[in-house]
Amino acid sequence: MEFERFSFPSRRSNVIARNGLVATSQPLAVQAGLDVLQKGGNAVDAAIATVATLCVVEPTSTGIGGDAFALIWWAKDGRLYGINGSGPAPQSLTADLVRSKGYDKMPTLGALTVTVPGSLRAWEQALSRFGTIGLDTLLSRPITYARHGFPVSQRIARAWARSTEKMSQHPDSKRVWLPGGRAPRPAELFHNPEFATTLETIAHNGVDSFYTGHIGEQIVACVQEAGGVLTMDDLAGYKAEWVEPISVTYRNGFTFHEIPPNGQGLTALLALNIVRGFDLKSLGYGTADYYHALIEAMKLAFADAHAYIADPKQVDVPIAGLLSDTYTETRRQLIRPDEALWPEPGHPPVHGDTVYLTVADAEGNMVSWIQSLYMGFGSGLTAGQTGVQLQNRGANFSLEAGHPNEVAPGKRPYHTIIPGFITYNNQAWASFGVMGGFMQPQGHLQVGINLVDFEMDPQTALDAPRFNWLKERTVALETAVSPGVRVALAAKGHDLYPSDKPIHYGGGQVIIRDPASGVLIGGSEPRNDGMAAGF
């Protein structure tokens, strides 16, 4: 790996270590995970300590009232494991029920969008299989931060303030998250003693205390009082599951891995498959032709994703057909060098706000973990005296009759959060992710290509400017993209989103493990408050 082959605006260097490395979007959480590694815990132990701390210090984005997915490389087995920790719709939530309340598409907020929280069951699965340290120890630091307070970091404070109106609509949300009637400002101390008590209950009594005990009862009461249909049976019946990751062989020995549907990792693989047919180096990094090829591939991938991704427990998702060479070639042939597409789904052959963290340890284990409430503070509901904010993942269901993702009892919705992983010659190489709704597969495509095709180091790959395709022919470009490239893309028919309007471009982390030496190289997103740290 050559360092500094490209130069993008950033104040950060790579973090290089041998014994362990943690990277995520908030420094206090990084240090919580690093402390676990330094005391002898493995990458899975450290990942749970990190994400639990994020639930306290970045509550705008994540919490135990949300969902999680993970990719775990376990060195002793020499293989990658996947966890789907996304919860289903309540058994009484039907499309007809939602339509009867006057909706022609799913609402984005409120009780009807609350699905069963899955993250704690994902923690449980990971620790029961690979962990060496109990929750009573791993939750000690987040409990301390919740009870005794922590200083709010800059970008998180900004996101918190944007949710002021939403969190003002619900009494418990306003009381917990807007002390004194406003969001905390940067560097102000914030306390959440109710959540500290919730975490203490889970630490001492286990995850079941959330799903079958008094915590769950308050969640159900909150949702039902707000007009939802979640029940204790819905909570008690939920288990996270181990899943087999899906993958595409990209080039030169590199393979990209994602969680299968109901997550949207398939979207990233669809785009990578299409892009694999282009000589990106010949197009030239950062040229208009380069961006055009990636944008068009992403459009086609999303068109198919929105048409086919759903809960595979309830519908047939044609993964093999969508990723087949024949189908990929038909999609690739739709791309014209000088004309922007209006994307439409194809017909494949049929075969029978978010946090991201990555951790690597000295034994060669690597964890790619992502967890979210979806939109900032999720549904806007906070459950009684628990300090737990509830996700709004149900907002991603469809109300189109017969659509694979049409809301139905016990169905898991189309899910935006996706952890990523890259192997090289069948060995662990890179654990990475880019959070931010529908930006996530776009970030996987762009950061992954930076790492593999252009051999960027992790920090440079994250610093590089990005695009965010929004809809139809509309695409946003970061300001670092040159005026000349913008003019050329506009000439191809791309509708450029105004550069003076705020839009997000994701937030990511990367750890690369050198296959020969085991040295770890980590980068942290300059677009959020986080950091990478190792020892």
- Catalytic site residues? 354
Distance CA 235, CA 237 (A): 6
Token code pair at residue 410: 């016990």
Q: Which strands form 427-435's sheet, in the order they lie side by side?
A: 15-17, 520-524, 507-513, 427-435, 420-424, 254-258, 246-251
Quote the radius of gyration of the chain (alpha carbons, Å).
Answer: 22
Closest among 522, 524, 532, 481 to 503, alpha carbons compared: 481
Contact yes or no for 422/510 (Cβ under 8 A) = no
Give the sign of the dihedral formed by CA 365, CA 453, CA 268, CA 511. Answer: positive
Q: What is the DSSP letter of 398?
A: B
Count of Cβ atoms closer than 10 Å to residue 357 Cβ:
31
Distance CA(353)–CA(204), nearest Å, equals 29
Q: What torsion do the CA atoms of 358, 360, 365, 370 make, to the nearest 10 degrees?
A: -10
229, 93 contact by CB (below 8 A): yes
Query: Could you tell me the two tokens for 247?
Result: 């993958």
Phi-psi region of 10 (alpha: psi -120 to 50; beta: other; left: phi over 0): beta
Q: Which own/partner pairs from 94-97 qualify as long-range (CB within 8 Å, at least 24 positions apart)?
A: 94/407, 94/408, 94/409, 95/399, 95/401, 95/406, 95/407, 95/408, 97/229
C-alpha to C-alpha distance for 376 and 104, rounded to whole angstroms = 23
Q: What is the DSSP string of 499-519?
A: TTS-----EEEEEEE-TTT--
Q: How far apart (Å, rounded) are the C-alpha atoms in residues 435 and 507?
A: 5
Buried-state track 217-233, b at ≥16 Cβ within 10 A, e below 16? ebbbebbeebebbbbee
Four-residue CA torsion sign, 20, 25, 27, 28: negative
Per-residue tokens: 60: 């705008």
Q: What distances in angstroms separate CA 379 from CA 50, 98, 136, 389, one per listed residue?
A: 24, 16, 29, 8
Contact 154, 97 (CB under 8 A): no
Answer positive or negative: Cα dihedral of 83, 521, 450, 528.
positive
Residue 368's contacts (CB-CB under 8 Å, 6 or more residues apart) are: 70, 71, 72, 358, 419, 420, 421, 431, 432, 433
Residue 102 structure tokens? 């006057």
